Amino acid sequence: MTEASDWAAPLVITRKSDGSLRICVDHTKLNRHVRRPTHPTRTPRDAVAEISGDATYFSTFDAASGYKFLRASMGLSSSSDEYNRRADLAFQGVGKTVRVVDDLLRYDSSFPEHVMGVCAVLSAARDAGITFNIKKFQFAQPQV
- Give DSSP secondary structure letters for 122-144: HHHHHHHT--B-GGG-EEEES--
Cβ atoms within 10 Å of 109's Cβ, excluding its own: 13
Residue pair 57/114 in contact (Cβ under 8 Å)? The answer is yes
pLDDT of 71: 62
Q: Per-10-residue mean pLDDT for the chain, 144 residues long?
A: 75 88 84 85 88 94 71 75 88 93 94 98 93 93 93
Q: Is residue 3 in some structural domain?
A: no
Residue pair 124/93 in contact (Cβ under 8 Å)? The answer is yes
Question: Residue 89 sits in a domain of what CATH number?
Answer: 3.30.70.270
pLDDT of 91: 94
Q: In 3D, which of 92, 109, 88, 108 has the Cα closest to residue 100?
A: 88
Q: Is residue 102 in some structural domain?
A: yes
pLDDT of 40: 82
pLDDT of 95: 93
Q: Is residue 19 in some structural domain?
A: no
Q: Is residue 2 in some structural domain?
A: no
pLDDT of 28: 84
Q: Is residue 21 in some structural domain?
A: no
Provide the domain count of the chain: 1
pLDDT of 64: 84
Residue pair 59/108 in contact (Cβ under 8 Å)? The answer is no
pTM: 0.77
Q: Is residue 54 in some structural domain?
A: yes
Domain of 83, in residue numbers: 38-141
Q: Is residue 135 in some structural domain?
A: yes
pLDDT of 67: 61
pLDDT of 116: 98
